[in-house]
Structure formats: structure tokens, C-alpha cells
Amino acid sequence: MSYGEATLYWFKVNPLYFENSMTQREDYNKQQTANKL
């Protein structure tokens, strides 16, 4: 199984986890921006 195939498999198995981490990252970025203001 190649790295690309493993990644595709991972996204199929963990789409919710992926969405959660993207949301958390956005929240974190917003927090950092707010801290600078």
C-alpha cells in the first residue's frame, strides 16, 4: 500500500476527525489573531 493510498484510506475512515482538526485549527488561528489585536 503506497503512502497516497494510505492517505485516501485514512480520509475515508476518519472524515469527521479531519473536519474536527480543521475546525480546531481555524479556531486557533482566530484566537491568535485576536490576541495580536
Number of domains making up the chain:
1
pLDDT: which is higher, 7 or 1: 7
pTM for the model stands at 0.40
Residue 1 has pLDDT above 70, yes or no: no
Say what the pLDDT of residue 22 is: 76
Q: Read off the pLDDT of each residue in 4-12 and give the average, rounded to a whole number.
A: 78
Q: Read off the pLDDT of each residue in 20-31 and give the average, rounded to a whole number.
A: 85
Q: Which domain holds residue 7?
A: 3-35
Q: Of all residues in the chain, what percent carry a pLDDT higher than 70?
A: 95
**Given pLDDT bands bounded at 50, 70 and 90, which one contains residue 9?**
confident
Is residue 20 within 8 A of residue 27, CB to CB? The reply is no
